[in-house]
Amino acid sequence: MTPSVATKTDESDRLRELGGERYRNDQRLGRRWNETVDTILSHRSVRHYLPTPVPYETVELAIAAAQSAPSSSNLQAWSVVAVEDADRRSRLNAVAGNQRQIAQAPLLLIWLADLARPRAIATERGSTAEGLDYVESFLLGVIDAALAAQNAVVAFESLGLGTCYIGAIRNDPETVSRELGLPDGVFPVFGLTVGFPDPAVPAGVKPRLPQTTVLHRESYDGELPQEDLAGYNRVLQSFQSEQAMPLVDWTDQVSSRIATVESLKGRHVLVDVARRLGFKLK
Ligand SMILES: Cc1cc2nc3c(=O)[nH]c(=O)nc-3n(C[C@H](O)[C@H](O)[C@H](O)COP(=O)(O)O)c2cc1C
């Protein structure tokens, strides 16, 4: 929808449409539509790509969007490695359990919490950089990387590209680290596949929990909203059936994803791995 030609009624209708897709209930989103919220509310992970390469200038634009994200104390404690080489992508894909979208996407971005750069800067100035040895600094790098990556996602999507986060590279961060030549103090947080979505296999907008479940006013309401959850199970099953996915209750998915150490797929040892990659995590 072009803002110059859109009327207020068009905008309200579009917001109703966007809210309907995201929640499949009567969630109100007001009347203040713009292209930015349209892009954000239309998000869907893309797992089927065309082989067309992502133009390098688009990558540079998305990285500028990433660098425009806020950063804790402006330390900018993140970096990203852009991987296009098919053999390297395939070796990284082995870590991630060989996911189709990694094999298909022409570009894989690996987002890094990067404490090596601030350490090098501090060391040059004769500092011990003791502050980097604490969990807080690891978290800072991870948060900075996540905020940056999500800005890049919004930029890519606004330009007609699709993306899918790949947390599964944390199944084996040491192999990823060796593959990318990461120095001590750099941790691969997640990957992101990027490419032009294959129009033959369009991805749908995955509904989310009703806002009443996640939005607390003034203080946290700890009651499990049973009706909301049952309703969401039904909504998500309709989505799954439209997308020809196996029908699974969301509440069962949540429960099994966190049920056992095995369900963490090797990521239960991440504290030890992060220590070996140069984070003291005090
Ligand atoms: C940090 C993170 C890691 C993820 N890792 C994977 C992954 O390894 N493979 C995958 O197919 N999707 C992955 N996803 C995508 C989620 O499954 C997806 O965002 C979620 O199901 C919601 O669907 P939507 O993005 O289409 O709205 C990841 C998402 C995030 C935020």
**Distance (Å) from CA 124 to ligand 1 centroid:** 39
Looking at ligand 1, which residue's alpha carbon is closest to its atom 9?
Answer: 166
> What average pLDDT does the segment 68-90 reach?
98
120 plus 173 within the same structural domain? yes
Query: Is residue 74 situated within a structural domain?
Result: yes
157 plus 65 within the same structural domain? yes
24 plus 74 within the same structural domain? no
**Distance (Å) from CA 149 to ligand 1 centroid:** 13
Statement: residue 1 has pLDDT above 60: no
The reply to whether ligand 1 has any atom less than 6 angstroms from the CB of 168 is yes
Q: Phi and psi (nearest 5°) for 190?
A: -165, 165
Q: Which residue has the tokens 């980097």?
A: 132
What's the pTM value of the predicted model, to 2 decimals?
A: 0.96
Rounded Cα gap, residues 186 and 191, in angstroms: 14
Query: Is residue 248 situated within a structural domain?
Result: no
> What average pLDDT does the segment 215-237 reach?
96
Looking at ligand 1, which residue's alpha carbon is closest to its atom 30?
Answer: 165
List, in order, residues 6 or more apart from 215 with CB less than 8 Å away. Answer: none
**Distance (Å) from CA 192 to ligand 1 centroid:** 9
Query: Is residue 274 situated within a structural domain?
Result: no
Q: Please list the residues that pair with 188 across neighbouring strands.
A: 112
**Domain's final residue, options 203, 237, 258:** 203
Query: Is residue 122 situated within a structural domain?
Result: yes
102 plus 136 within the same structural domain? yes
Atom of ligand 1 nearest to the CA of 146: 1
146 plus 173 within the same structural domain? yes
Statement: residue 176 has pLDDT above 90: yes
Per-residue pLDDT tens for 2-14?
555 568 789 999 9
> What average pLDDT does the segment 135-160 reach?
98
CATH number at residue 91: 3.40.109.10
**Domain's final residue, options 183, 203, 223:** 203
The reply to whether ligand 1 has any atom less than 6 angstroms from the CB of 196 is no
What's the total number of domains in the chain? 2
Q: Which residue has the tokens 């005090």?
A: 282
**Distance (Å) from CA 126 to ligand 1 centroid:** 42
83 plus 132 within the same structural domain? yes
Per-residue pLDDT tens for 28-67?
999 999 999 999 999 999 999 999 999 999 999 999 999 9
Query: Is residue 260 situated within a structural domain?
Result: no
The reply to whether ligand 1 has any atom less than 6 angstroms from the CB of 44 is yes
Q: Which domain holds residue 7?
A: 3-41
The reply to whether ligand 1 has any atom less than 6 angstroms from the CB of 142 is no
The reply to whether ligand 1 has any atom less than 6 angstroms from the CB of 66 is no
117 plus 189 within the same structural domain? yes
Rounded Cα gap, residues 44 and 99, in angstroms: 17
Q: Which of 18, 147, 164 to mutate to test the pocket of ligand 1 (most atoms within 8 A of CB)?
A: 164
* Cβ count within 10 A of residue 266: 15
70 plus 28 within the same structural domain? no
The reply to whether ligand 1 has any atom less than 6 angstroms from the CB of 253 is no
**Distance (Å) from CA 45 to ligand 1 centroid:** 7
Statement: residue 237 has pLDDT above 70: yes
pLDDT at residue number 6: 64
Query: Is residue 25 situated within a structural domain?
Result: yes
User: Crossing angle for the helix pair 250-257 and 226-242, nearest 10 degrees?
Assistant: 100
> What average pLDDT does the segment 230-245 reach?
96
pLDDT at residue number 68: 99
Rounded Cα gap, residues 99 and 107, in angstroms: 14
Query: Is residue 238 situated within a structural domain?
Result: no
20 plus 157 within the same structural domain? no
197 plus 77 within the same structural domain? yes
Q: Phi and psi (nearest 5°) for 40?
A: -65, -45
What one-character-per-residue DSSP string does 86-137 give? HHHHHHHHHHTT--HHHHH-SEEEEEEEE-HHHHHHHHHTT---GGGGSHHH
**Domain's final residue, options 184, 203, 222:** 203
> What average pLDDT does the segment 18-29 reach?
95
Q: Please list the residues that pair with 186 across neighbouring strands.
A: 114
75 plus 137 within the same structural domain? yes
Q: Percentage of residues in the chain with pLDDT exceeding 70?
A: 98
72: left (phi over 0), alpha (psi -120 to 50) or beta: beta
Helix/strand/coil percent split, the chain, to 5: 50, 10, 40
Looking at ligand 1, which residue's alpha carbon is closest to its atom 15?
Answer: 165
The mean pLDDT value of the chain amounts to: 96
Nearest to 152, CA basis, from 232, 50, 82, 206: 82
120 plus 83 within the same structural domain? yes
Query: Is residue 199 situated within a structural domain?
Result: yes
Per-residue pLDDT tens for 148-169?
999 999 999 999 999 999 999 9
> What average pLDDT does the segment 163-179 reach?
98
